[in-house]
Structure 1
Amino acid sequence: MNQAAMHDAARLLLRIALGVLVLLHGVAKLRGGMSGIERLVEANGLPGVLAYGVLVGEVLAPLMLLLGFHARLGAALVAVNMLFAVVLAHMGQLGQLDGEGGWALELQGMFLATAVAIMLLGPGRYSLNQR
C-alpha cells in the first residue's frame, strides 16, 4: 500500500471511530429524551432550546463524518459540541483523575482531539466530497 493510500485509510479510520462513538451518544439522547440536557442548559442561564444543538453535534455531525460529507464541518461541529459539554457539564472534573488514574475527561478530550485532527487533515479520498 502506498503512502497516500495509507494516509487516506488512516483518515477514514479516524472518521469512523469518532463518528460511530459520538453517534451512539446522540442515539442515546434521542431514545432517552432531551429533558436532562434542557435542564442542564437552563441551569447555566441559557435558553432551554439550545439543548437541541446537542443533536447537531451528536447525530448530524457524526453522520457527516461517517459519510465524509463536508467532514471538516462535521468535525468542527463535534469539537464545538465537546467544548459545550465540558463547559456545561464537566468543568468540575477538568483537573481530576478517575479511579484508575486516568484523566476524568479522557473521553471528551479524545473526542475533541480527534475532531480537531480531522478538521486539520480533511476526510481523505474515501469520502463523498473529499473536503
Structure 2
Amino acid sequence: MLENADLGKLIIRLTLGGLMLFHGIAKLLHGVGFIEGELASHGLPTFLAYGVFIGELIAPLMVILGYQTRIGALLIAFNMVVAIVLVHSQQLLSLGGSGGWSLELQGFFLFTAIAVVFLGPGRYKLKN
C-alpha cells in the first residue's frame, strides 16, 4: 500500500498556504479598507487591519516553504479566528444556500491550520 505521510503533509501545506495566499494578494492589490471598517465598527484601532498581511501573506509563505511552519499555521489560525469574530460571527450556526455550513471556507482555513500546527511540516521543507 502506498504510504507517505510527508507527501501528505506537503499537500496539506501547499493547499492551506496557497489558497490563503490568494486572499492576501487580493488585499495587497485592493487594500484593507473593508477590514478597517469592520475594526472601527467594533471599536478597535483601524491600523490593526495591516495585521492581515501577516496572516494572509507572510504566514502562508512560511507554511508553503516549510519554514517555521507551526508558527505560520498558528498565525493563519489566529487570523481566521479574528475574521470569524469580526465579520462572520452571525453566520456561525447557519447553513449556506447550498445546504453546507455558511463558514465552510473559514472553517477549512482555521481547522487545517490547527492540524498543521500539530502535524508539523514533514520532511519536504526548507531547512531551518
TM class, shorter-length: over 0.9
User: How many Å separate the matches in 2 of 1:123 and 1:129?
Assistant: 11
- CA RMSD after TM alignment: 1.3
Partner of 1:68: 66
For structure 2, the residue ranges without an aligned partner over 5 or more in a row are: none
User: How many Å separate the matches in 1 of 2:53 and 2:39?
Assistant: 14
Confirm whether residue 14 of structure 1 aligns to residue 6 of structure 2. Answer: no
| Aligned residue-pair number | 128
User: How many Å separate the matches in 2 of 1:74 and 1:99?
Assistant: 32
User: How many Å separate the matches in 2 of 1:42 and 1:49?
Assistant: 10
List, as ranges, runs of 4+ consecutive aligned residues in structure 1 with deviation greater than 6 Å.
none
TM superposition score normalised by structure 2: 0.96
Identity %: 52
SS of corresponding position for 2:122: coil
Could you tell me which amino acid in structure 2 is paired with residue 110 of structure 1? F
Does the 8 Å contact 1:75/1:119 carry over to 2? yes
User: How many Å separate the matches in 2 of 1:55 and 1:113?
Assistant: 20
